[in-house]
Chain A
Amino acid sequence: MKELREESKGTRRRLLRAALALRGREGRRSRISGSALEPPLDDLLQELLEQIGDILEADTAVILLRNGTSEDAAARTREWLEQHITESLQAPSGRDGRGRAALVIADVPTADGLDPALRANGVQSLLAVPLLIEERYVGLLVVGNCAQRSFSEDEAQVLEALADRVAVELQHGGVFEHHRREWALQRSLLPEKLPAIPGIWLTARFLPASALAGVGGGWYDAFPLPDGRVGLAVGDVACHGAKAATLMGELRNALRAYAVEGDPPATVASKMWHFVATLERGEMATFLYALYDPSAGTVRFYSAGHPPPLFVHADGKVTFGATIPAAPLGVGGPPRDAEAMAELPAGTTMLLYTDGLAERPGERLASRRARIAESAAGAQDPDSLCSQLLGRLVDGDRPDDDVVLLAVQAMTPPEDALLCTVPAVAEELLPLRRQLRRWLAARGANEREIAAVTLATQEACANAVEHAYGLADATFHLAAVHHGPTIEIVVRDRGKWRPPRGENRGRGMALMRALVDDVEVVRHDGGTTVRLVRTLEKSAPA
């Protein structure tokens, strides 16, 4: 089969060269005006079409794209041609097994069902070949003549070769430019990066829909809440293109505003429902919001018509969260049912996803879920789960709809990690410092390194205490782990934000930077997370 394909490609190239050599032999013929393509062609494509007309001695050459409306004459013509091409493919003489075939209509006026508009244009004969972008059918390239003629097999092959050129232009040229702008907009509305939360492994994958569909309206978000819980959301907007991008942006902003107080998922979903309903654009969106409590090892979630979360347990087995029927955001009525709850202990991965992951026309939900479960089984962590699912279910093909995956797992802390929750008062810093010194020494740190890391940590902790000013029961968390010789210390406070005291804080930052290899400070609604990294000269013997 491969040889055959290669051979047919070679033949086509030869024919094309011959045809190009012949080009210009005759003067330009009168051409039928009015291209059937929208949006308008860029100059390069227009010129290419004229050349194609010249090469094949045709009076007209047009592109009929698949993503136009089904209302106009061009779309009806295209549908008619597609149907006949499909029929000829199913016939035993179907051409090269690549899902493409040329269609010759020698006598348009007698072709039953072909659009009268075409006849009115005076087209008597036509030759149509499919346009493929990345092996996907995107439309037809059609040449037509006002006089009756028959197109030869060679001419059909030339047109197929030219269709490849046109497809390249379509892909890189102006026609898909508006899609590219929409994608850029959608990407800008998705989280730039997921928050770093100590002890939590978060991963997201976003695979945009195929070029033809434009923006698919899939979105996600993840954020730490002031009380240490984590908000996780995924949604799918039921429209495409720029409208979808706009709405998903609005939804994500609304969610951040509604979720910040740590309200239960059903309450947040109710606010979201009313938000979409009041837009009065008849919009609809499925939505799932999960509130994960790492310290309790539980997650509560509410789904507004969205597929349920998937859990891959530590033993590799897969289960789905409870599905409670509920209308999508903006339609039907506001959420009434209570939310669902599930266990999410360390080592179990929870996945939120969109339908695009395993959608097959007509396939029932249970069978779809069974395929997802089968593909997810055995995955040990969020990253391998996502890779495994995309590899097995999407397999390199651009999906018809956006695929969004958001996976979370509480990591089991290593046995030699130092984890403590400390009251945010200055008196606690001294014993903490002693504990850290011992831990660092056990990791093989020398005196200089111990002093540097302890001092840097001290600065980070002092900030935490400062933030907690005025809160009687405030605490902060310190986590020290090592990966080989690299020490990582995360100090996270949950105090209310207080504006920095300029000078002092600035010096604290500079000091930390001088003492360790890397300092990362993330300020979020709930407080500040400081991450310090330093690689030791030599690590402790294993």
Chain B
Amino acid sequence: MNVTLAEERGVPIAHVAGAVDLTTADDLSATLRSAVPNAAMGLVLDLTATTHLDSAGLRVLFDAIRRLGRRQQELRVVVDPESLVADLVAATDVGSYAGVDFAVGDAVEQLAVAPI
């Protein structure tokens, strides 16, 4: 698993490549925890390059939803609609608790603060 942190229009983005499972879930969780500044509207979690996501990975996802929610911040998950990750996100109803997008640009759009 490889996590790359980026920022677009003031929105923090975490690109997660590879497998998120029992051996990497804690790393991801720790990285996400430090990825979101207080001023941000939320976090874009880009899972389009995530090859495998098991229950430990889902737990990180729901954990992020809860942590961000406490700070009035939103998690937006980006998935490839034709992937196992998309299937799991749908089966566990992630969409009711976080935004789900199919492109990073769309997710950023939702979280970016409009220029005054």
Contact at B66–A238, with CB atoms within 8 Å? Answer: no
What is the CA–CA distance of A88 and B36 in the complex, to the nearest angstrom?
41
Taking CB atoms, residues of chain A closer than 8 Å to B87 are: 364-366
CB distance from B53 to the nearest CB of A (A): 9
Q: Which of B24, B27, B83 contacts A364 (CB 8 A)?
A: B83
Question: Does B62 lie at the interface of the complex (its beta carbon under 8 Å from any beta carbon of A)?
Answer: yes
Q: How far is the CB of A247 from chain B (nearest CB, A)?
A: 12
**Is B112 positioned at the interface, with any CB of A under 8 Å from its CB?**
no
Q: Report the separation of the CA atoms of residues A246 and B27 in the bound assembly, to the nearest whole angstrom.
A: 24
Among B6-14, B38-46, B91-99, B103-111, which stretch is in contact with chain A?
A: B91-99
| B88 lies within 8 A of chain A by Cβ | yes
Please state if B52 and A282 are interface contacts (CB–CB under 8 Å). Answer: no
Check B52–A284 contact: CB distance below 8 A: no
Q: Is B19 within 8 A of A70, CB to CB?
A: no
Interface-side segment among A138-146, A196-204, A321-329, A499-507: A321-329
Give min CB distance, B19 to chain A, whole Å: 7
Within 8 A of A (CB), among B72-116: 82-84, 87-88, 90-97
- Chain A residues positioned under 8 Å from B97 (CB to CB): 327, 332-333
Is A362 a contact of B84 with CB atoms below 8 Å?
yes
Q: Is A363 an interface residue (CB 8 A)?
A: yes
Contact check, B92 vs A364: say whether CB atoms are below 8 A apart: no
CB interface residues, A 276-307, toward B, < 8 Å? 282, 284, 286, 305
Q: Chain B contacts of A333 at CB under 8 A?
A: 96-97
Return the chain A residue nearest B24 by Cβ.
Answer: A70
- Cβ of B35 within 8 Å of any chain A Cβ, yes or no, is no
Residues of A within 8 A of B66 (CB): 282, 331
B98, closest chain A residue (CB)? A332
Taking a contact as CB atoms closer than 8 A, the residue among A70, A238, A282 that contacts B27 in the complex is: A70
B91–A282 touching, CB < 8 Å: no
Q: How far is the CB of A394 from chain B (nearest CB, A)?
A: 17
* B5 close to chain A: CB less than 8 A: no
A97 at the binding interface (Cβ < 8 Å):
no
Q: Quick check: is A431 within 8 A (CB to CB) of the other chain?
A: no
B55 touches A327 (CB 8 A): no
Which residue among A305, A332, A365 has the maximum number of chain B CB atoms within 10 Å of its CB?
A332
The answer to whether the Cβ of A236 comes within 8 Å of any Cβ in the partner chain is yes
Chain A residues whose CB sits within 8 angstroms of the CB of B91 once the complex forms: 305, 323, 325, 365
B63 touches A282 (CB 8 A): yes
Chain A positions within 8 Å of B84 at CB level:
362-365
Cβ-neighbour of A284 out of B22, B59, B83, B94 (below 8 A): B59
Does A179 sit within 8 A of B, measured CB to CB?
no
Contact B55 A325 (CB under 8 A): no
- Give min CB distance, B47 to chain A, whole Å: 12
Taken together as a complex, chains A and B put the C-alpha atoms of A484 and B58 apart, in Å, by 53
Size bracket of the A interface: 20 to 34
For residue B51, which residues in chain A have a CB less than 8 angstroms away from its CB?
361-362
Q: Is A377 an interface residue (CB 8 A)?
A: no
Q: Answer whether A238 and B55 are a contact pair too, CB < 8 Å, given A327-B92, A327-B97, A328-B92.
A: yes
Chain B residues near A332: list those with CB within 8 A.
62, 65, 92-94, 96-97
Q: Is A474 an interface residue (CB 8 A)?
A: no
Is B23 in the interface zone, CB < 8 Å from A?
yes
Name A's interface SS. Answer: loop
Residues of B within 8 A of A84 (CB): none
**Are B88 and A365 touching (Cβ within 8 A)?**
yes
- Judge whether A23 is part of the interface by a CB distance below 8 angstroms: no
**A346 at interface by CB-CB < 8 Å:** no
Using an 8 Å CB-CB cutoff, how does the interface string of A220-240 with B read, 1 for contact, 0 for none? 000000000000000010111
Q: Which of B51, B55, B66, B95 has the most CB of A within 10 A?
A: B55
Cα separation A325 to B19 with both chains bound (whole Å): 23
Q: Contacts A327-B92, A333-B96 hold; do A284 and B24 have CB atoms under 8 A apart?
A: no
Hey, which chain A residues are within 8 Å of B63, CB to CB? Answer: 282, 331
Bound-complex Cα distance A175 to B93 (A): 40
CA distance A361 to B54 in the complex (A): 9
The answer to whether A238 and B88 touch across the interface, beta carbons within 8 angstroms, is no
The minimal Cβ–Cβ distance linking B70 to chain A, given in whole angstroms, is 13
Across the interface, do A327 and B59 meet the contact criterion of CB distance under 8 Å?
no
Bits for A353-388, please: 1 = Cβ < 8 Å to B, else 0.
001000101111110000000000000000000000
Q: Is the CB of A361 within 8 A of B52?
A: yes
B-chain residues with CB within 8 Å of residue A363 when the two chains form the complex = 84
Candidates B52, B55, B92; contact of A236 at CB < 8 Å: B55
What A residues does B83 contact at CB under 8 A? 362, 364
Report the Cα distance A326→B95, complex, angstroms.
10
Interface centre among B24, B27, B93, B97 (most CB of A within 10 A): B93
Q: 0/1 per residue, A303-343, Cβ < 8 Å to B?
A: 00100000000000000000101111001110000000000
Q: CA separation between A213 and B22, bound complex, in Å? A: 9
Q: Complex formed: what's the CA distance from A366 to B66 in Å?
A: 29
In the bound complex, CA of A365 to CA of B84 (Å)? 6
**In the complex, A370 Cα to B54 Cα: how many Å?**
19
Q: Are A70 and B59 in contact (CB under 8 A)?
A: no
Q: Which residues of A contact B56 (CB under 8 A)?
A: 238-239
Least Cβ–Cβ distance between B63 and chain A, in angstroms: 6
Residues in B with CB closer than 8 Å to A325 are 90-93, 95-96
Given A282-B63, A328-B92, 8 more pairs with CB closer than 8 A = A213-B22, A239-B56, A284-B58, A325-B95, A327-B93, A331-B59, A331-B66, A332-B94
B positions within 8 Å CB-CB of A: 19, 22-24, 27, 51-52, 54-56, 58-59, 62-63, 65-66, 82-84, 87-88, 90-97
A-B contact pairs, 23 of them (CB 8 A): A70-B24, A238-B55, A238-B59, A239-B56, A239-B59, A282-B63, A282-B66, A284-B59, A325-B90, A325-B91, A325-B95, A325-B96, A328-B92, A331-B59, A331-B65, A332-B92, A332-B93, A355-B55, A362-B83, A364-B87, A365-B84, A365-B91, A366-B87
* 9 closest residue pairs by CB, A with B: A331-B62, A238-B55, A325-B93, A365-B87, A305-B92, A361-B52, A284-B59, A332-B97, A238-B59
